[in-house]
Amino acid sequence: MLKLYIGNKNYSSWSMRPWVMLRQAGIAFDEVMVRFDAFTADSQFKKRLGPVSPAGRVPVLVDDGLVVWDTLAIAEYAAEKFPKAGLWPASVAARARARSICAEMHSGFSNLRSACPMNIEASLPEAGALIWRDKPAVRADVQRIVEMWSELLEEHRGPMLFGAFTIADAYFAPVCMRLKTYALPVPPAIGDYIARVSAQPGVKAWIDDALLEKDFLDFEEPYRLKP
């Protein structure tokens, strides 16, 4: 049985990606949630993950003693281990594009990620409006995402980026969460895609769990005070 170490579902965008990917594909795994408390060397989070992964971050996939960390590495490992699951698109060209946009997400969009940390439980349209007004780099990130998604949805005729749900949709699911939480303006077709992603069983299961956590972490909350 695979074992996937994750952080808080409300906040951990990186953990969301492989969890949703595996759950949506029907691949069985055991979940180990390591609560965010701090990220210093003496934190409980680091002490718990230290013996598991040299990186000391989530997510981490463990399979019969093999440790795989980093979301892209986990995605590639799962695609190789479960070739019939259809985690990547079927054609060579589509797989190359899917890998390209996942890699772009992995290394880019830092302005959106920094200004709009994932917070599924929250509704922050007022903060989103100020971010949109004051941060042109965030607007540029969102524009790139809108252009990317629009092109792929038109080319593959939806409902997902490459027709059926793939790693690419799992990889951008946290972006959908951010766009919803902060109510950032997107075209109707993109809003419809966000709604479809949110309704996918694997994504909905993550969202439902995040809403049940009720674990307010001050250091993850730049826009709200503790209740």
Q: Which of 90, 113, 94, 95 is nearest to 172 (CA)?
A: 113
Residue 164 tokens read as 């059926």
State the pTM of this model. Answer: 0.97
- The yes-or-no verdict on residue 18 having pLDDT over 90 is yes
Is the Cβ–Cβ distance between 218 and 226 less than 8 Å? yes
Query: CA 123 to CA 181: how far, in whole Å?
Result: 5
Query: CA 161 to CA 154: how far, in whole Å?
Result: 9
Query: CA 198 to CA 54: how far, in whole Å?
Result: 33
Apex 126 CA angle, 122 and 130, nearest 5: 125
Regarding the domain delimited by 92-209, which CATH topology (the fold level of the hierarchy) does it fall under?
Glutathione S-transferase Yfyf (Class Pi); Chain A, domain 2 (1.20.1050)
Average pLDDT score, the chain: 97
pLDDT value at position 106?
94
What residues does 12 pair with on adjacent strands? Answer: none
pLDDT digits (tens, 9 = 90+) for 93-138: 999 999 999 999 999 999 999 999 999 999 999 999 999 999 999 9
pLDDT digits (tens, 9 = 90+) for 60-104: 999 999 999 999 999 999 999 999 999 999 999 999 999 999 999
Q: What residues does each domain of the chain span?
A: 2-85, 92-209
- The yes-or-no verdict on residue 160 having pLDDT over 90 is yes
Query: CA 134 to CA 40: how far, in whole Å?
Result: 32
Model confidence at 158, pLDDT cuts 50, 70, 90, reads confident
Cα→Cα distances 143→108, 112, 114, 133, Å: 13, 11, 16, 14
Regarding the domain delimited by 2-85, which CATH topology (the fold level of the hierarchy) does it fall under?
Glutaredoxin (3.40.30)
Is the Cβ–Cβ distance between 5 and 59 less than 8 Å? yes
